[in-house]
């Protein structure tokens, strides 16, 4: 029997509804959650992401600001915008869209964001809080979304062999930090694989939960899957497809058709992890706003 689909679109919709309810409660008490997104340069893919983030916030009744800066913006100017947003009382979440155009450098920008407004969860303070298990920090949106996909589709994480392919700061590393916590929706036994892993299949075949974020179309094939595993595909690769009107289509890192025959649950691409990222961004922004509201009481 082919694997059940983990439907990211409907789970994200459910979370967005919960977030909108929480936002409405905050608004009633006088705080409208506000998200500022900073976009530097003209990258079309980034522009699409930024637009959908703004739209999702507005749909949830939140305040949303997009700051578009030219590609020639200097590092100092960009830091000045971040400083302004740090002290803007209407803004509770700040996101600087990555990647930044060269020669801008991301680390100092991430560190300049007030950690209480760092809804992307990339500031070292929040990275540290995640690792030590302090719950008042922010977890990066993609791994937080994957945890929700697993929990809400009934995948038991406690005690499970969780194998993560990829060790980026955006997905792989925070995913590992999240799943090893002594917490609800965690307590996994975690293995992290990367480019230097000697035998990838040896590890993936042990996985009850396999999370793939390597950016390589077709990296994971059916013979690398333990029968009955839950498979989360974070990949978003464009491959040429002359039959598609756009000339390309999106595929994940997992060979969906064959892996679906072996796994018990699997995320599609698109429609799996992707929609969760924005839902978790909104959830983080509402949490940030709630924390500011509590601090002001």
Annotated catalytic residue 265? no
Q: Six-digit token pair at 275?
A: 């929609």
Catalytic residue chosen out of the listed positions 97, 147, 148, 260: 97
Note if 120 is an active site residue. Answer: yes
User: Which residue out of 120, 208, 253, 255 is catalytically annotated?
Assistant: 120
Euclidean distance between CA atoms 142 and 146, whole angstroms? 6
Residues that bind ligand ADP (CB under 6 A): 165-168, 170-172, 193-195, 197, 200, 213-216, 219, 234
**Residue whose CB is less far from ligand ADP, 127 or 290:** 127
Among 205, 130, 212, residue whose Cα is nearest residue 171: 212
Give residue number: closest CB to ligand ADP. Answer: 168
Smallest separation, CB 145 to ligand ADP (Å): 13
Q: Which is nearer to ligand ADP, 119 or 164 (CB)?
A: 164
Provide, rounded to whole angstroms, the least separation between the CB of residue 236 and ligand ADP. Answer: 8
- Phi first, then psi: give them for residue 6, nearest 5 degrees: -90, 110
Residue 31 near residue 281, CB atoms below 8 Å: no
Of these residues, 7, 53, 181, 208, which one is catalytic? 53
DSSP 210-247: EEE-S--TT-B-GGGS-TT-EEEE---EEEE-TTSTTS
E-assigned strands of 92-173? 93-96, 161-165
What's the min distance (Å) between Cβ of 167 and ligand ADP? 4
**CB neighbour burial string for 174-199, b if at least 16 within 10 angstroms, e if fewer:** bbbbbbbbeeebbbbbbbbbeeeeee
Q: Between 44-59 and 8-28, two packed helices, what is the crossing angle to 10 degrees? A: 50
Pick from 139, 146, 230: nearest CA to 177? 139
**CB 9 to ligand ADP: min, Å:** 20
In the bound state with ligand ADP, the residue whose beta carbon lies nearer, of 23 and 193, is 193
Confirm whether 55 is a catalytic residue.
Answer: no
Cβ closer to ligand ADP: 28 or 199?
Answer: 199
**Cα 258 to Cα 224: distance, rounded to the nearest angstrom:** 11
Minimum distance from CB of 212 to ligand ADP (Å)?
9
Strands 93-96 and 189-193: unpaired
Q: Which is nearer to ligand ADP, 281 or 286 (CB)?
A: 281
With respect to ligand ADP, which residue has the nearer C-beta, 29 or 196? 196
Residue 265 Cβ vs ligand ADP, minimum distance, rounded to whole Å: 20
> Hey, which residues are catalytic here?
53, 97, 120
């Amino acid at each position: 029997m082919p694997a059940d689909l983990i439907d990211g679109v409907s789970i994200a919709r459910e979370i967005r509804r919960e977030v909108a309810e929480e936002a409405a409660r905050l608004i009633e008490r006088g705080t409208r959650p506000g998200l500022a997104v900073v976009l530097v340069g003209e990258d079309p893919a980034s522009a699409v992401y930024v637009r959908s983030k703004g739209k999702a916030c507005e749909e949830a009744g939140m305040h949303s600001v997009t700051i578009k800066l030219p590609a020639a913006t200097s590092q100092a100017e960009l830091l000045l915008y971040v400083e302004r947003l740090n002290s803007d009382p209407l803004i509770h979440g700040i996101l600087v869209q990555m990647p930044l155009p060269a020669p801008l450098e991301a680390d100092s920008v991430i560190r300049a964001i007030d950690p209480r407004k760092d809804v992307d969860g990339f500031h070292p303070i929040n990275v540290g809080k995640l690792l030590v298990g302090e719950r008042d920090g922010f977890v990066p949106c993609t791994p937080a979304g994957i945890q929700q996909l697993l929990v809400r589709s009934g995948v038991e994480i406690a005690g499970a062999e969780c194998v993560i392919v990829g060790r980026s700061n955006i997905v792989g590393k925070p995913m590992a930090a999240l799943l090893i916590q002594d917490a609800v929706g965690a307590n996994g036994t975690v293995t992290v694989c990367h480019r230097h892993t000697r035998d990838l299949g040896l590890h993936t075949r042990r996985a009850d939960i396999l999370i793939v974020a390597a950016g390589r179309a077709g990296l994971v094939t059916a013979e690398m899957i333990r029968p009955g595993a839950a498979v989360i595909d974070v990949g978003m690769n464009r491959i040429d497809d002359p039959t598609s009107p756009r000339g390309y289509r999106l595929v994940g890192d997992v060979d969906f058709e064959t892996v679906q025959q072996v796994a018990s649950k699997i995320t599609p691409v698109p429609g799996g992890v992707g929609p969760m990222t924005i839902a978790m961004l909104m959830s983080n922004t509402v949490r940030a706003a709630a924390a500011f509201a509590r601090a002001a009481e």
